[in-house]
Structure 1
Amino acid sequence: MFTHLQNLLPADTIRRHRCVQGEWIFHRGDPVRSVHFVLEGFVELLRHAADGKPVILQRAGNGDMLAEASAFASHYHCDGIAATAALLAEIDRADFLALISNHDFAANCMASMANEIRSTRLRAEILSLKTVAERLDAWLTFNDDGLPAKGGRIALARELGVSPEALYREIARRNS
């Protein structure tokens, strides 16, 4: 969606922002003034459950819009944190909303949001499963690339809602 957006907006309306891993992009409750797109790296949207554990709502990567629903809200409904070093494009919310009247952009935006809805439903399905093995099986079913490299497995554990140690044990069990 960002590629299409770049062609519709004057270049000076798009700001770029480099983030370091762990940097907060916005906090739950902050007013929404901008719309963000991830150009490099990964950004996670999260909330904390009643027990204090973080729940990942979205892991946005290259080209993804961050916190789509917030474009239509007055305040952010979650926290946005750089999961890795990242490069973001930032556009004023008013400029973004003005583009919705452009049919091509609106269709592109809807397709992107439909993909995010599918991903969210998959995450909900995975989190409803009881065991680490079931969650990993479901994740692998929808991720043809197989397991991420060793450096990406902590992020996978967070996405599955399990401890890294539990995920490592399950992977080791499968490899034995």
Structure 2
Amino acid sequence: MIAIMSQGLETLFTGSRSVQLSAGAVLFRSAAPVSEMFMVNAGQVHLCRHTVHGAELVLQRAMPGMIVAEASAYSDRYHCDATAATDCVVLALPKPVFLSALAADAGFAASWAATLARGVQAARFRSEIRSLPKVADRLDAWLGEGNHLPQKGHWQDVANELGVAREALYRELARRRNERAG
């Protein structure tokens, strides 16, 4: 997110209601009415959708300074679940206040539009990765975009992002280790 947008959001959210969440806590559920916009102040929130087969797809990893479920500004109800991936603090701003700020400030509105456009680009990239048939191809594409594998305890996050079972990712990583060692 560009610095101007982040500063604008931080200013807009100054003095808003603070919500502390423990890892795994739900911020909102799919189909709940949208009455507030949420900005991550500390920690990480995941926007998730569950497939009919029970798989969890992470659609957004909201970090500090980011809005959770940006498109909810233009929706009556949430289309996904938001849960705290870590202990975190989010700031809650009434949706009408957020929309009024966009209407009143053309510069802020333009920055917001750019943020939404980058979100669409990221979603298209995730869709492209998930359309690849092999785990190896998905991982190569993801790494090719400058991403790096996290520490071992967080590989399941990468598996969720790639849309593969964590065991499949573990097997691929082991295969790569063995190739390097051999």
TM-score, structure 1 length as denominator?
0.91
Sequence identity (%)? 41
For residues 156 and 6 of structure 1, what CA distance do their matches in structure 2 show?
29
Tell me the equivalent position of 2:130. Answer: 127
Letter of the 1:28 partner, please give it. Answer: S
Return the offset for 1:39.
Answer: 2.0
**Which structure 2 residues correspond to residues 1-176 of structure 1 after superposition, within 5 A?**
1-8=5-12, 11-12=14-15, 14-101=16-103, 102-144=105-147, 146-176=148-178
- Which residues of structure 2 form unaligned runs of 5+? none
Return the offset for 1:86.
Answer: 1.5
For residues 24 and 110 of structure 2, what CA distance do their matches in structure 1 show?
33
Contact 1:41 1:61 (8 Å CA) reproduced: yes
Count of residue pairs brought into register by the alignment: 173
For residues 49 and 12 of structure 2, what CA distance do their matches in structure 1 show?
33
- Which residues of structure 1 form unaligned runs of 5+? none
Letter of the 2:78 partner, please give it. Answer: Y
Return the offset for 1:151.
Answer: 2.4
SS at match of 2:98: helix
Runs of 4 or more above 3 Å deviation: none
TM-score, structure 2 length as denominator?
0.88
For residues 112 and 154 of structure 1, what CA distance do their matches in structure 2 show?
27
Letter of the 2:151 partner, please give it. Answer: A
Residues 84-109 of structure 1 show CA distances to partners (whole Å, capped at 9, x for unaligned) of 21221111101000011211111111
For residues 42 and 121 of structure 2, what CA distance do their matches in structure 1 show?
22
Return the offset for 1:60.
Answer: 1.4
Contact 1:36 1:65 (8 Å CA) reproduced: yes
Return the offset for 1:5.
Answer: 2.4
Return the offset for 1:8.
Answer: 4.4
For residues 55 and 170 of structure 2, what CA distance do their matches in structure 1 show?
20
For residues 104 and 57 of structure 1, what CA distance do their matches in structure 2 show?
27
Return the offset for 1:44.
Answer: 1.2
Return the offset for 1:119.
Answer: 1.1
Contact 1:2 1:37 (8 Å CA) reproduced: no
Letter of the 1:63 partner, please give it. Answer: G
For residues 87 and 146 of structure 2, what CA distance do their matches in structure 1 show?
23
